[in-house]
């Protein structure tokens, strides 16, 4: 697969890290084929993260993801899903490798700066959730 989907989460936007994170992403060989500043509604976040709805952190996750704007983007590169997850690092920044985006910019497992799709199938679903055909290049 050559496509993945990312969100720079509300913490990354609040903390002024949009530029640095996008620079690391593009410097690592990803091409941006769609991008926007947007804010998820509660209904959006509940749908996007529906797979986690029985988890104890679901309410906290929805609250966090809706508290401010995010940057949503579609990224293209050979082996995009796997390479992007390597670039962002482990879900918990304490476990993330040195130099990864989460190691550098995330504060906690809950507020972890960035999302990356976990499969080619989910990349397609998540990209279509956020972008219409006219917004992708
Ligand atoms: P993402 O889907 O955001 O790329 P991930 O695939 O690394 O993250 P998941 O296990 O799918 O991690 O969890 C989705 C998101 O839910 C995490 O990125 C994090 O924001 C939140 N989350 C996961 N585990 C916890 C937890 N124990 N406490 C609070 N929030 C959590």
In a domain? residue 11: yes
Residue 61 lies in a domain: no
Q: Is any atom of ligand 1 closer than 6 Å to the C-beta of 96?
A: no
CA distance 110 to 108: 5
ipTM: 0.93
Number of compact structural domains in the chain: 1
d(CA 78, CA 30): 9
pLDDT in tens, 59-105: 999 999 999 999 999 999 999 999 999 999 999 999 999 999 999 99
Q: Domain for residue 129, yes or no?
A: yes
In tens, the pLDDT along 23-71 reads 999 999 999 999 999 999 999 999 999 999 999 999 999 999 999 999 9
> Buried (b) or exposed (e) across 50-81, using 16+ Cβ within 10 A?
eeeeeeeebeebbebbbbebbbbbbbbbeebb
Q: Best mutation site among 80, 83, 110, 130 for ligand 1, i.e. most ligand atoms within 8 A of its Cβ? A: 110
Specify the CATH number for the domain of residue 97. Answer: 3.30.70.141
Predicted TM-score of the model (pTM): 0.97
Q: Residue 50: inside a domain, yes or no?
A: no
């Amino acid at each position: 697969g050559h496509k993945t989907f990312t969100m720079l989460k509300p913490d990354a936007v609040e903390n002024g890290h949009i530029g640095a994170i996008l620079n690391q992403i593009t410097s690592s060989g990803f091409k941006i084929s769609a991008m926007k500043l947007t804010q998820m509604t509660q209904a959006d976040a509940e749908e996007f993260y529906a797979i986690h709805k029985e988890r104890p952190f679901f309410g906290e996750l929805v609250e966090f993801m809706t508290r401010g704007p995010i940057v949503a983007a579609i990224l293209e590169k050979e082996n995009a899903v796997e390479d992007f997850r390597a670039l962002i690092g482990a879900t918990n920044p304490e476990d993330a490798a040195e130099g990864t985006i989460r190691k550098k910019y995330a504060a906690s497992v809950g507020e972890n700066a960035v999302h990356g799709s976990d499969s080619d199938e989910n990349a397609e679903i998540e990209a279509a959730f956020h972008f219409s055909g006219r917004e992708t290049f």
